A and B are shown apart, each in its own frame.
Chain A
Amino acid sequence: MTHQAVELLLVEDNVEDVELTLRALKKHNFSNRILVVRDGAEALDFIFGSGKYSDRHPRNGPKVILLDLKLPKVDGFEVLRRIKSDQRSRAIPVVVLTSSREERDIVESYSLGVNSYIVKPVDFDKFVQSVSELGLYWLLLNEPPPEI
């Protein structure tokens, strides 16, 4: 898979959550063209075509970014802030996928311009359902902005 072809960027540091999320996506055949990055700094590198992703043009953004909030190096809020405050990336839909139901996390995410906020359920069946619904919505139903 080339970096140009990435449709879904999963930003998640917890290996088990990565495996669970990929499995849930796979169950519904959303497993193609997914890239997993493990911290906020790498996510920003990918999005803005810097660091090890310098061959990538930021215009070719993924269709959706699934973003955890608690991340090493650069946290999810900062990643979200950078994506939404940059002309090149602000149109990419970002879905926060987190354990937290804390009001301040939800308020902060929306004030930074998140497109959707989803609390990861403990129950795997519900988790699979949530992930498949968001995959269906953002990868199939949603019409992306033309410049992406």
Chain B
Amino acid sequence: MTVSDEVSLPEALNVEKDELGAEPRILVADDEQNITLTIGELLRRRGYKVEMAVSGQEALRYLQETEFDLVLTDLKMEGVDGISILEEVRRRSPLTISIILTGYASLESAIAAIRQGAYDYLVKPCPVEELIRTIQHGLEHRQIQLREMKTRRELERLNAELEQLNLKLRAMNEELAAFSYSVSHDLKAPLRAIDGFSRMLLEDYSGRLDAEGQRLLKVVRTNTQKMGQLIDDLLTFSRVGRHQLMHSSIDMTELATTEIEELQARLAAGALETKIDPMPSVRGDPAMIRQVVANLLSNAVKFSRGAEQPRVEMGGRREGSEHVYYVKDNGVGFDMKYAGKLFGVFERLHNADEFEGTGVGLALVRRILHRHGGRVWAKSDPGKGATFYFSLPVIQGEQS
């Protein structure tokens, strides 16, 4: 037996102890008492917390009491043998390192033990350096496994947290959908009654209402209708957030031409000059992109109607990985210092009696574009018209 405490070991072999605990716990089990004691004492002096068992039964008792970092066990013992110890270790704490002590004669059974999950084996008698090195490798292996387990547990915890958040988010989304659903059903009925009954009053009692009385009722009706429009716009806005995007190829030139013709049909002939330049097609949700184009064009028409010769233009081109489109008018424009407010819900840069509107249109435009991975921005000077730009990503494999 060459195990001895006289051999000094290089510093590098000292065990890192932090995650293993301050003193790694080792169980030494061998029914040859002198081997157990020698190894045990040697390890104790190196700073390990060691328990020594001189029989398989004693080793089992220790295993029931404590979780060891490493178990060093003889294979051939009377009564409870090393294989039973290995099984017990694997059952109780699968990350505990088992190292087999064996004689040359039973090398094969040592290899069989490794197949059953033992980390390594030592052939008795073994040099003390080899003993220490094997134990240290074993402990390093355990250290790595403990860290992996810690990471895994942390990941599992984060996953569970994410799952919870997801559930919460889904519940909130459902609540929101239910909310706008009931708004859609219940909020407009009283408005319809206010408008309808005001109208009935105007029809049936106009003889008894003087001009001022009739004007007052008209104000009631105008505002009722405005609120109805507001509710509709808000519902559209909230639907855009929930609506599942259906992607297909969109001919932007055709879309813009149709939309501008529709707007022009509502105006006197020649009242609006328009120019639609050929634009690249794009992939997106056709109904939603139509809303973007319709909103920007009708805004341009609305805000340019005071110009001497109102003019609205639209065009676009590919710029790198984006398609960039613009809608330009020669209308009232806006002060760039309020540009940040343009796309907020209910934000308006003009008085309602100057230009009608609920302040939802551009917020809707921005929301739709964000959902498509695109952007919207604007440039203007007061009195010099405004240009709205929007971009949509070029999708791989898209035909332009």
Contacts and interface: CB of A to CB of B under 8 A. Distances in A.
A20 B184 contact: no
B189 A14 contact: yes
A121 B229 CA distance: 10
B185 A17 contact: no
Contacts of B193: 14, 16-17, 20
Interface residues of A, number: 22
A122 to B, nearest CB: 3
B42 interface: no
A145 to B, nearest CB: 32
A69 B188 CA distance: 14
A82 to B, nearest CB: 21
Contact of A99 (B188, B198, B221): B188
Contacts, number: 67
Nearest to B199: A124
Given A69-B185, A122-B224, A99 B200 contact: no
Contact of B185 (A19, A20, A99, A121): A99
A70 interface: yes
A23 B197 CA distance: 11
Interface string B226-238: 0111001001000
B195 interface: yes
Contacts of B235: 101-102
Interface in A1-23: 14, 16-17, 19-20, 23
Instruction: Name the interface size band of chain B.
Output: 20 to 34
A99 B181 contact: no
B192 interface: yes
A125 interface: yes
B191 A122 contact: yes
B196 A101 contact: no
Given A23-B200, A122-B228, A100 B185 contact: yes
Contacts of A17: 189, 192-193
B181 A124 contact: no
Contacts of B198: 124
Interface string B168-185: 000000000000110011
**Closest 9 interchain pairs by CB?**
A122-B228, A16-B193, A124-B196, A124-B199, A20-B196, A99-B188, A100-B184, A122-B191, A124-B195
19 contacts: A14-B193, A16-B192, A17-B189, A17-B192, A17-B193, A20-B197, A69-B185, A70-B185, A98-B185, A99-B186, A100-B181, A102-B181, A102-B185, A123-B228, A124-B196, A124-B198, A124-B199, A124-B200, A127-B196
Interface of B: 180-181, 184-186, 188-193, 195-200, 221, 224-225, 227-229, 232, 235, 239
